[in-house]
Each structure stands twice: as structure tokens, then as C-alpha cells.
Amino acid sequence: MSRPRVGWRAALAGVSFMVLGAAGGIAADRYVQHEHGAIAAELEQLHDDPMKVFERTIDLRPDQRPRIHAILLAHQAATDSLLHFARQRLQATVDSVLLEIDAVLDAEQSRRFHEEVERLHGAPFPALRSPAPASPDSSGT
């Protein structure tokens, strides 16, 4: 049984589609990374100075500024408290996952894993961290 022969045009078309697909994938990846970075910067600015972001993006009228500022101030303590709680829970979950993974690794893999965690997270591996100081309301007194 003989195999059908592929012409040079069909082969060229196949290679062209592969190259175009790879180039399109790279372009899409760079676009997503750029957009993610831009959104992260916008969120950071929104956290640091929400009024500045509102004024720039929504074009607030002078009579709206003090009212919106008062709304933000009225809810700031509750927002900060929730964010603090959420960060603690998230950190506890991430630490648990890292410790479970570490328990599966041999000594050399564990050493490299610790280095990678510290490089990516900018903090020591969970088991190597100093315990967080107890908050005044958690002392039980």
C-alpha cells in the first residue's frame, strides 16, 4: 500500500499555518501579560488613591467629590478589616498547600522547592518563618 504524496504547496501551507499559529500564540500571550500588568497597576492605584482614579476615569463633578470621598471613608475600616482577614486565610491556605507538597519531596527536591517558593513569594518557606505575633484580642484575656 503506497502512501499519498504530499505536494510542496501543501507542506508549505502546513508549515505556514504552524508558524502563524505560534506567532499568534506569542502575540496573544504578550497582550494578556500586558493587560494583566496594566490592570494590576490600576488596582494598586485604586487602593492607594481611589479618589484620584475616580476623578480621572469618571470625570466627577465638583459637587460629587466630597460625597464620594465621605462614602469611601465611611466604609474604609470595614474594608481594611475584611482584607486583613482574607489575607490571613489565604496565607494559611497557601502555607498548608506548600507544606503538603514539601512532605512528598525528597531532601534535594525540598531544598530546591524552598528556594523556588522564596524566589516567587519573596518570603521564607512557611516552616522557616517566625510565628506571627499574637493580636491583643486573641490572647484570651
* Cβ-proximal residues to 69 (8 Å cutoff; 6+ apart), any chain: 51
Whether 29 contacts 39, CB under 8 Å: no
Question: CA–CA separation, 24 vs 84, rounded Å?
Answer: 41
Element (H, E) at 4: none
Q: Looking at residue 106, what is its pLDDT? A: 93
Q: Looking at residue 128, what is its pLDDT? A: 64
Query: Which tens digit of pLDDT belongs to each residue from 25-83?
Result: 666 666 655 556 677 777 777 777 888 888 888 888 899 989 988 998 898 888 888 88
User: Exposure of 96 by Cβ count < 10 A (0-12 exposed, 13-18 middle, 19+ buried)?
Assistant: exposed
Round the average pLDDT of the chain to a whole number and report it.
Answer: 76
Give CA 23 to chain center in angstroms. Answer: 25
Q: Looking at residue 130, what is its pLDDT? A: 57
Element (H, E) at 62: none
Please determine, for residue 94, whether its predicted confidence score (pLDDT) is greater than 50: yes
- The answer to whether the pTM exceeds 0.85 is no
* Cβ-proximal residues to 46 (8 Å cutoff; 6+ apart), any chain: 53
CA-derived radius of gyration, the chain: 26
Say how many Å lie between the first and final Cα of the chain, rounded.
87
Is the pLDDT higher at 133 or at 14?
14
